[in-house]
Amino acid sequence: MSKGGRFIALAASAILLSVVSLGPLGARAEEPGRPKTTGYPTVEDVPPRPAKPAMTADELLKLKKELITARDRQASKAKGGAERPQPIKP
């Protein structure tokens, strides 16, 4: 076999080897993959409503009264503490 014939045979075998070895990669690339997930729910995805409410009406009313009482208590302390002491001149 001549030099030119060996070179052609070597080139043909290299091409054939690369086609055979890279064939599965091409087939894998054509398959549709899973959609990428971001970790966040979609806009239309709304969680189901709970069967039992978090608070009953009585508990809600009691909590509102406690919050109003705490707000009024803080407002009265703020009014009393709003006066700053006058600086003493030497």
Please report the pLDDT score of residue 31 as a whole number. 61
User: pTM of this prediction?
Assistant: 0.37
* The amino acid at 10: L
d(CA 82, CA 77): 8
66-83 per-position pLDDT tens digit: 999 999 999 988 887 655
Q: Report the distance separating Cα 4 and Cα 56, nearest Å.
A: 92
Q: In the prediction, which pLDDT does 17 show? A: 78
Q: What Rg value do the Cα atoms of the chain yield, rounded? A: 40
Give the pLDDT band (50/70/90) at residue 8.
confident
Residues 9-41 pLDDT 10s: 888 888 877 776 766 655 555 566 677 777 887
Pairwise CA distance, residues 31 & 29, whole Å: 6
H-only helix segments in the chain: 3-30, 57-80
